[in-house]
Structure 1
């Protein structure tokens, strides 16, 4: 049987079409699978609006509203370290003069106290020296007098025995009355000598006691005078006045509470401090994004998740890492020009630590787009 060539051609075309259908079917299935995976990834990612801020947020440095700036020491963009002086208030010079006066008064009080202490100490030492002079020499003199008295007493006893013996001899007629009277006179004279020596001893002892009492009283008086002089100096009061003056002076020096960069200056030299404060400072060496994640999406955000930050102001997309998920739900704060945006939507703030902070260090409060990866 001979088959016409036209029929063969039709069959060949049909077979080719069927093969083409079967050959193209697998790629179509792969495409559908890839699209589904992409959709699932997109669903798991969280998008949000955010704003840039320095590490530790932006700090407003202020002062008493209405007080004037005497001298501004920094300018916008300048890097400062914790404790650096930023400005002097207009009252700085006056407080400085008060502090110097208080310091001089304290120094004068210390000098006066030193002089009074030296004088009082010298008086005490002099009185104590008198006590030593009284104790040692007069004690020796009293001892010598006691020894003299003892010697006289021995002589008196010997003369009294001679007198008794002469009384006996005179009765026996062995000696004359004159000899007996001489012995009696010698005993009486020695007795008088003994009495005089005892009187001298009593006088020495009384004088010594009186002198000791006077010297001890002088010591107490010198000690009291020293305490009185020290109390009149009022060193503690002068020291307190200096500390108060230093505290008042320090209040006229505006210092930075953190290390960072001066972002904005509101009050310059000669200007009064307003409600805005003096300046704003932030640590721009490490920038963060505060992303406002819808409360319905916050359960998908975890610490250490990666994030992509983009903005027309960026030279490129910047990567970041979720560092903190807020604990409070609030209203949206980041501005959005989209008229149909959910301005009253409730959101949770998520802080994202950025890499390559140097690229965006000068863009604090810039609105950015955030994609938090699963």
Structure 2
């Protein structure tokens, strides 16, 4: 037989505030079950930090709106600049194409006129036509050559103008795209986002949250009391009482007989419950301690050296003692089921 105490799965957790201050509100009661990360209490600076967070959020929203507006305006300028390129390119390309067609027509006419001029010279030399006809044909050739030269010069001017105009329009596009970097507006957004993150962090430090799911076993403070984030200043005690354990203190001379998986029975020393509970050894400690659970027998050794053995109580029995955390119990571990031998309690050695 060994002495033991009841405790929730994962032991009892003392929940502290993330920062020093005064408790303004406690929003849970003893016995209430909470979920992991649920807010259980508020510090007095919560309202101030909430207002600061809301202001930082509004500043970020405003900066994002300005950035979106400037981005939209910049993209609009880029679209306008690209439109100007199309407006310049299409008519000028058409004019160049028309001039090219005119040049090709003049070239064809000039080739025919030159053929006729050669024939007229032959006829003139043979005395078949007068000098006047030859001169007229020569004048036609000269006129076509002048027209062709003029058309080619015009085409060159159109091409040069097109290149220059497209270059200027492209420069406007490049300028609009460069302005779209919006470095200043983006910097404002980044700064506002950092301020919001800091405000949210400061707000979070005014909230006391449950680190895991469980039942509130005890409230250590009341609203208005000061708390600290240092160890030893908890707000409440929390435990998973849906599954209860027994921490049995087995004498150091007996611990070698205890193994994981052995069956155990648990009974109340003071009648807190009438049933005999069953459980299974789940963990055997690796350290030897001075006993923590004191026997009410005056003859018991108050300075025994023991090892803590954790025993998982059967689920149906666990419900019976869910509200009895830290209750002192008697534990019998069945180390040899075939011989019905159990552990001896941690009692003082006989004095000779």
Asked whether the two chains share a fold, i.e. TM above 0.5, the reply is: yes
- Deviation, 1:81, is 2.3
1:110 aligns to 2:71 (yes or no): no
Q: Is the 8 A contact 2:26 2:40 kept in 1?
A: yes
State the distance in 1 between where 2:56 and 2:18 align: 25
Greater Cα shift, 94-103 or 335-344:
335-344
Q: Distance in 2 between matches of 1:116 and 1:98?
A: 27
What is residue 341 of structure 1 aligned with on the other side? 300
Is 1:97 aligned to 2:55, yes or no? Answer: no
Tell me, what secondary structure is at the counterpart of 1:207?
Answer: helix
Contact between 2:39 and 2:210, CA under 8 Å: does it hold in 1? yes
Q: Deviations over 1:173-217 (max 9, x none)?
A: 887776666555554444332222222111111111112222222
CA distance in 1, matches of 2:128, 2:311: 142
Match of 1:314 in 2: 272
Give the Å deviation of 1:321: 1.6
The one-character-per-residue Cα deviations of 1:86-128 (angstroms, maximum 9, x if unpaired) are 0112222222223222322332233333323322222222222
Aligned residue in 1 for 2:186: 233
Which consecutive unaligned segments of at least 5 residues does structure 1 have? 1-46
TM-score, normalised with respect to structure 1 = 0.76
| Residue of structure 1 equivalent to 2:345 | none
The alpha carbon displacement at 1:172 in A equals: 7.8
After superposition, give the CA deviation of every residue in 1:106-158 in whole Å (9 maximum; x if it has no partner).
32233333323322222222222333333333222112112222333344455
Q: Is the 8 A contact 2:4 2:293 kept in 1?
A: yes
Give the superposition deviation at 1:294.
Answer: 0.6
- In structure 2, the residue matched to 1:284 is 241
For the residues of structure 2 that align with 1:360 and 1:64, how far apart are their CA atoms? 32
CA 1:166/1:69 → structure 2, altered by over 3 Å: closer, same or farther?
A: same
Alignment match, 1:19: none
Q: Post-superposition shift, 1:65?
A: 6.2
Deviation, 1:57, is: 0.9
Which residue of 2 is the match for residue 84 of structure 1?
38
Q: Please give the per-residue CA displacement for 1:326-371, whole angstroms capped at 9, x wherever unaligned.
A: 2222211123454543233211112233353444433322323333
Q: Greater CA radius of gyration, 1 or 2?
A: 1
Which residue of the partner structure matches residue 23 of structure 1? Answer: none
Q: What are the equivalent positions in structure 2 for 1:247-326 lying under 5 Å apart?
A: 247-274=201-228, 275-302=232-259, 303-324=261-282, 325-326=284-285
Which of 195, 199, 208 lines up with 1:245 in the alignment? 199
Contact 1:71 1:87 in 2 (8 A): yes
Note if contact 1:87-1:255 (Cα within 8 Å) is conserved in structure 2: yes
Query: In structure 2, what is the Cα distance between the partners aligned to 1:282 and 1:294?
Result: 27
1:327 to 273, 286, 289: 286
Corresponding residue pairs, total: 327
Report what 2:329 is aligned to. Answer: 368
1:203 is the counterpart of 2:154:
no
Greater percentage in strand: 2
Match of 2:173 in 1: 219
